[in-house]
């Protein structure tokens, strides 16, 4: 699957934080209908990617590191899903037996590559502020 459930949840987490500022995991999960075990896992990945900061203690929670106008869907999705691929044959280093040289060049692979490039381009184009 191109956009995983985890990536969808990550976008929802960022959306919630963009509206509320610093927020506790349980509140994010409740308002965005995300199972709490996913919420913790996703927030750790978003923190590792430099999109959110965690705050410890009674008044702790998570907050965005930068404004939504400086974050794209591409940023969020690749924070949780490193390989954003339309098809397995597009993975770097994968040798597809159907994609030979010259006349045996797979036209399907070429089309998947073209579509993949368009999708990545569009995911990078708009900031989250433009779509939230």
Helices (H), 1-132: 5-20, 25-32, 36-48, 73-80, 107-125, 128-131
pLDDT value, residue 99: 64
Render pLDDT for 53-83 as a digit per residue (tens, 0 to 9).
999 988 899 999 999 999 999 999 999 988 7
Q: What is the mean pLDDT of residues 101-127?
A: 83
Task: State whether the Cα torsion 45-14-114-96 is positive or negative.
Answer: positive
Q: How many CB atoms lie within 10 A of CB 11?
A: 19
pLDDT value, residue 86: 73
Fold of 5-131: Arc Repressor Mutant, subunit A (1.10.10)
> Tokens for 78?
């690749």
pLDDT value, residue 93: 65
Q: What is the mean pLDDT of residues 118-123?
A: 92
> Tokens for 23?
């927020």
pLDDT value, residue 103: 54
**Does residue 8 have a pLDDT over 80?**
yes
């Amino acid at each position: 699957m191109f956009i995983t459930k985890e990536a969808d949840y990550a976008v929802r987490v960022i959306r919630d934080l963009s509206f509320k500022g610093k927020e506790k995991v349980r509140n994010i999960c409740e308002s965005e209908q995300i199972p709490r075990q996913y919420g913790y896992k996703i927030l750790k990945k978003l923190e590792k990617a430099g999109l959110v900061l965690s705050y410890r203690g009674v008044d702790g929670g998570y907050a965005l590191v930068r404004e939504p106008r400086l974050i794209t869907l591409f940023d969020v999705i690749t924070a949780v899903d490193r390989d954003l691929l339309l098809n397995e044959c597009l993975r770097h280093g994968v040798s597809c037996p159907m994609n030979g040289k010259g006349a045996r060049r797979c036209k399907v692979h070429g089309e998947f590559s073209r579509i993949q490039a368009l999708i990545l381009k569009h995911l990078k184009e708009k900031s989250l502020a433009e779509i939230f």
